[in-house]
Amino acid sequence: MTTPPPPPLLVVAHGSRDRRHAATVSALAARARALAPGRRVAVGYLDFDAPSVDRALTELYATGARRVVAVPLLLARAFHAKADIPAVLRASAARLPGLTIRRADVLGPDPLLLAALERRLAQAGVGRADRAETGVVLASAGSSDPEAIAVFATAAREWRRAAGWCAVRPAFASGSRPTTADAVRALRADGVRRVAVASCVIAPGRLPDRILAGAREAGADAVAAPLGAAPELAELLWRRYAPAGGAELATAGRAPSYGTYL
């Protein structure tokens, strides 16, 4: 009996009017392909960019794919992970006969994300020797979803404990407070000598630009670039892909579960 080929990996990205977003996602997908030669990696967008998720699935289906693993390019489980992506996947599965879509977990939280953030901070001039006197602002895009906000608050506490920063505070570019500028000023008020901002976002765009502006406004000493096509993110895509066989099918009439988040 012939063993069927492994299902393609579909990276489900949000999309943006900022062209840097799609360029970053394409570079990340290319890095993921390089990690798994022979595996198919496609990209679909929820909005703004092309191809749409439905179009990407249609193209995979046209080439014979009947099983696909969709990995959300999201750092926390908020509205897009809970509502938008499941709805899009169910609609495509209902339209394409015999197509099975398995939805993987979002990328965060995960130690690999912290490793990527630390590498970006090092590139911004914040080294290991600076930790004892450096406070870090963990700045994310933000959300109105309490679960997503709690994830970043917990990540900030764990990062401080594991890495030895003198303080780590979460901040958000939208949907919640504190803002990046608020968090930088709060650390200064607490007597922190040096403040660095870690941009916990994947691609450049409006909200990452807001993080940068807030950091500069409040006088942060260093600002790390977005994660971009980080090797850690490429590895995370495959880590989420691997156990997706245990997820519920994203087929019509069956709402997929969200699995276990590490």
Q: In terms of domains, do 148 and 100 share one?
A: no
Q: 116 with 230: CB under 8 angstroms?
A: yes
Domain-embedded: residue 47: yes
Domain-embedded: residue 195: yes
Instruction: Please state the pTM of the whole predicted model.
Output: 0.90
Instruction: Determine the 3-state secondary structure of 45 from DSSP.
Output: strand
Any idea what DSSP says for residue 83? I
Domain-embedded: residue 120: no
Domain-embedded: residue 239: yes
Q: In terms of domains, do 235 and 218 share one?
A: no
pLDDT of residue 137: 98
Number of domains in the chain: 2
- At 98, list the tokens: 């015999």
- At 223, list the tokens: 């600002």
- Report residue 12: phi and psi, to 5°: -100, 105
pLDDT of residue 255: 31
- Report residue 16: phi and psi, to 5°: -160, 155
Q: Which domain holds residue 204?
A: 125-223
Domain-embedded: residue 114: no
Q: In terms of domains, do 132 and 191 share one?
A: yes
pLDDT of residue 144: 87
Q: 159 with 196: CB under 8 angstroms?
A: no
Q: In terms of domains, do 24 and 91 share one?
A: yes
pLDDT of residue 262: 19
All residue ranges of the chain with pLDDT < 50 are 246-262
Q: In terms of domains, do 93 and 140 share one?
A: no
Any idea what DSSP says for residue 243? G
Domain-embedded: residue 135: yes
* CATH number (domain holding residue 50): 3.40.50.1400
Domain-embedded: residue 153: yes
Domain-embedded: residue 258: no
Q: In terms of domains, do 147 and 96 share one?
A: no
Element (H, E) at 16: none
Query: How far is Cα 140 from Cα 202, in angstroms, rounded to an integer?
Result: 9
- Residues 6 or more apart in contact with residue 227 via CB below 8 angstroms: 113, 116, 117, 120, 199, 200, 201, 202, 233
Nearest to 116 by CA among 4, 223, 228, 219: 228
Q: In terms of domains, do 201 and 241 share one?
A: no
Instruction: Determine the 3-state secondary structure of 69 from DSSP.
Output: strand
Q: In terms of domains, do 218 and 235 share one?
A: no
